[in-house]
């Protein structure tokens, strides 16, 4: 069943949930978060406040050393100091009363606060339940809620900026006018059907076609943003492949900017894949250095070559490293043919040792080629730029990009529905049937922001959050 996004006023919470909101382990600060009708009363029994709680104000407090398991302990004894912050409903993250107790990051103290909260009537929060509560109460839409998780998991500044943009409602604002136009068209057709006998004109085919045509460019542009949004969100794997001793590991180290892979003058030094994650202009890339591809009867090298083939098959980008001092061999020609149609790049390495490329440009089969020298650094900046261009597909960053497969599927469904509606309108099909397609497009856009999203999908989304968020 679809889950219609409720209004804040219609929601009432009878349970109080609690969780440790900071990562496991020891640290300077550890936070226990309570949300629900008993949040303030439970907090008052966990700590001794030096001033009464007030919305939006931080209060110093003593954490009490009290536990139902040991009644002999003095309930007024202090075990820690804390800062307690109270947010009154509905002006909190969850729109319920919310209390955050920031004590020192001792697992023992945090566990004491958590267990005592459970004894006093709270229940342990599920993963993502605080944010799910914010979504269900209408404080966030689904794209903003997902952006909270994306911000927590961001590994590059570009990812963090993208998530912050989504949290601010960039995607929602981009979708809103499309939904409004679609709703207006639906209302126009519905009025013509419902009040056709009351001198309400039936919408002509030309008007329906015009309105659909006006919607399509924005939808198509939004769908196209997924090509870059997905890369920013998920990153890519770049496999570095080629013959032994072509300089793959040296180029790998240059791109990683440290001596990560072992480099020797002996061909076949790399026997297994070596990977390292880097950020290239904010796009996360996992570089995979592979064993040299050649015929070998040595078992260890054969296993390395098998893994190289697997890395080549799985990679989103391929960097083929050639030796500028050597002519192409059959293995390299086969490799160049194998990557046709895939995002691939050729690095002609050891260019400092060759007066010209031993291979001609025509042998690269239209794959971009850059002369490099892992020894001197020549061509490395150009190689980085070309990798970035391939990774981003030439798409520029824009506000409100689609960043997940769920987003993309919703928009492609809406586009398909609009195309079907346009075809139905062009063939003179009754408006009742056209409305079926229009409503399908509207429901798809609604699912993007969470206004019509199945409970199963919601549970799946929020289960990927960390506990305490």
Q: What residues does each domain of the chain span?
A: 2-140, 163-225+400-449, 234-392
Distances (CA, A) of 209 to 200, 418, 444: 19, 10, 20
pLDDT at residue 71 in the model: 57
pLDDT band at 255 (very low <50, low <70, confident <90, very high): confident
Q: Residue 116: CB partners within 8 Å, gap ≥ 6?
A: 45, 46, 66, 67, 68
Quickly list DSSP for 197-245.
GGTPPPPPHHHHHHHHHHHHHHHHHHHHTHHHHHHHHH-EEEEEEESTT
Q: Is the pLDDT reported for residue 294 higher than 70?
A: no
> Residue 240 pLDDT more than 70?
yes
**Reported confidence tier of residue 291, pLDDT bands at 50, 70, 90:** confident
Mean pLDDT confidence for 186-207: 73
The pLDDT of 26-54, averaged and rounded, is: 93
Q: Looking at residue 8, what is its pLDDT?
A: 38
Quick one: pLDDT at residue 89? 93
pLDDT at position 70 is 56
What's the first-to-final CA gap in the chain, in angstroms? 26
Q: Is there a contact between 307 and 291 (Cβ–Cβ < 8 Å)?
A: yes
Question: Is the entire prediction scored with pTM above 0.85?
Answer: no
Peptide bond into 90 cis (omega under 30): yes
Averaged confidence pLDDT in the chain: 83
Express each pLDDT in 391-409 by its tens digit.
876 666 678 889 899 999 9
Closest CA to 270 of 292, 254, 299: 292
Cβ(465)–Cβ(127) under 8 Å? yes
Identify the band that residue 297 occupies on the pLDDT scale cut at 50, 70 and 90: low
Confidence bin at 413 (pLDDT 50/70/90): very high
CATH superfamily, domain 163-225+400-449, is tRNA modification GTPase MnmE domain 2 (1.20.120.430)
pLDDT of residue 93: 93
Q: Quick check: 119 and 436 in contact, CB under 8 A?
A: no
Average pLDDT over residues 271-290: 80
**Residue 114, CA distances (Å) to 41, 57, 121, 268, 289 in order:** 14, 22, 11, 55, 46
Give the residue-averaged pLDDT of 60-76. 69
Q: Which CATH architecture has domain 2-140?
A: 2-Layer Sandwich (3.30)
Q: How far apart are CA 242 and CA 290, in angstroms?
A: 8
Does pLDDT of 11 surpass 60? no
CA neighbor of 20 nearest in space, from 92, 96, 122, 97: 122
pLDDT at position 306 over 80: no
Q: What pLDDT score does 1 carry?
A: 36
Does residue 282 sit in helix, strand or coil?
A: coil
Which CATH architecture best describes the domain 234-392? Answer: 3-Layer(aba) Sandwich (3.40)
Q: Hey, how many other C-beta atoms are within 10 angstroms of the C-beta on 120?
A: 18
More confident residue, 430 or 393: 430
pLDDT of residue 468: 82
Proportion of the chain above pLDDT 90, given as a percent: 37
Residue 361, pLDDT > 50, answer no
pLDDT band at 341 (very low <50, low <70, confident <90, very high): confident
Q: Percentage of the chain with pLDDT > 70?
A: 83
Cβ neighbour number for residue 5 with a 10 Å cutoff: 17
pLDDT at 391: 80
């Amino acid at each position: 069943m679809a889950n219609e996004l409720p209004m804040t006023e219609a929601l009432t919470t009878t349970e109080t949930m609690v969780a440790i909101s900071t990562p496991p382990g020891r640290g300077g600060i550890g936070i226990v978060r309570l949300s629900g009708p008993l949040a303030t009363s439970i907090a008052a029994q966990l700590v001794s406040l030096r001033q009464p709680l007030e919305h939006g104000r931080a209060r110093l407090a003593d954490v009490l050393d009290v536990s139902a398991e040991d009644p002999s302990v003095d309930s007024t004894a202090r075990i820690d100091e804390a800062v307690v912050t109270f947010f009154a409903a509905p002006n909190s993250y969850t729109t319920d009363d919310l209390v955050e107790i920031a004590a020192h990051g001792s697992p023992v103290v945090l566990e004491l606060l958590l267990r005592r909260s459970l004894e006093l009537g709270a229940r342990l929060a599920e993963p993502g339940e605080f944010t799910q509560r914010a979504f269900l109460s209408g404080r966030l839409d689904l794209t903003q809620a997902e952006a909270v998780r994306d911000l927590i998991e961001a590994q590059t500044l570009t990812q963090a900026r993208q998530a912050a943009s989504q949290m601010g409602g960039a995607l929602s604002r981009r979708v809103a006018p499309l939904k409004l136009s679609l709703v207006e068209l639906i209302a126009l057709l519905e009025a013509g059907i419902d009040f056709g006998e009351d001198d309400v004109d039936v919408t002509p085919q030309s008007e329906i076609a015009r309105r659909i045509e006006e919607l399509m460019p924005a939808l198509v542009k939004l769908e196209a943003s997924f090509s870059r949004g997905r890369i920013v969100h998920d990153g890519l794997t770049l496999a570095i492949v080629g013959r032994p001793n072509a300089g793959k590991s040296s180029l790998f180290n240059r791109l990683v900017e440290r001596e990560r892979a072992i480099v020797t003058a002996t061909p076949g030094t790399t026997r297994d894949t070596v990977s390292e994650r880097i950020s290239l202009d904010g796009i996360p890339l996992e570089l995979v250095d592979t064993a040299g591809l050649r015929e070998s009867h040595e078992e260890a090298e054969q296993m390395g070559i098998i893994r190289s083939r697997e890395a080549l098959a799985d990679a989103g980008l391929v960097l083929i490293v050639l030796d500028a001092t050597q002519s192409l061999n059959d293995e390299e020609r086969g490799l160049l043919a194998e990557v046709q149609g895939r995002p691939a790049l050729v690095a002609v390495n050891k260019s400092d040792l060759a007066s010209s490329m031993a291979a001609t440009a025509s042998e690269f089969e239209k794959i971009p080629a850059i002369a490099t020298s892992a020894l001197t650094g020549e061509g490395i900046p150009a190689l980085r730029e070309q990798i970035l261009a391939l990774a981003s597909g030439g798409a520029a960053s824009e506000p409100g990009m689609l960043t997940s497969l769920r987003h993309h599927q919703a928009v492609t469904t809406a586009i398909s529905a609009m195309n079907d509606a346009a075809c139905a309108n062009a063939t003179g099909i009754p408006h009742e049937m056209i409305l079926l397609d229009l409503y399908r497009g509207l429901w798809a856009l609604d699912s993007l922001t969470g206004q019509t999203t199945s409970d199963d999908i919601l549970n799946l989304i929020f289960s990927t959050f960390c506990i305490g968020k």
